[in-house]
């Protein structure tokens, strides 16, 4: 039987650190800090509840991050 893989670790920064930043700056900073996947979403966008290790989500309003969360 194959061993259970160990998921990669996520960067240690808080998603709250991105709130208020310009969306393009926030994405660049998140990738610099090691997030493997970054996605910007419009307010009210329907998303699945699937949690993906290493993904950072941004809700973007008027070009700025209004909310950020992992997964």
For the sheet containing 37-41, what is the strand order? 37-41, 55-61, 64-70
Residue with tokens 């998140």: 30
Q: What is the pTM of this model?
A: 0.85
pLDDT band (50, 70, 90) for residue 58? very high
Residue 15 exposure: Cα atoms within 13 Å on the Cβ side: 17
User: Does the structure show a pLDDT above 90 at 8?
Assistant: no
Structure confidence at residue 56 (pLDDT)? 96
Tens-digit pLDDT profile for residues 11-48: 999 999 999 999 999 999 999 999 999 999 999 999 98
Structure confidence at residue 60 (pLDDT)? 98
């Amino acid at each position: 039987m194959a061993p259970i893989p160990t998921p990669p670790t996520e960067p240690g920064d808080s998603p709250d650190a991105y709130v208020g930043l310009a969306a393009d700056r926030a994405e660049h900073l998140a990738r610099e800090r090691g997030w493997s996947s970054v996605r910007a979403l419009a307010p009210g966008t329907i998303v699945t509840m699937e949690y993906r290790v290493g993904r950072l989500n941004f809700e973007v309003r008027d070009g700025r991050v209004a909310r950020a969360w992992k997964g």
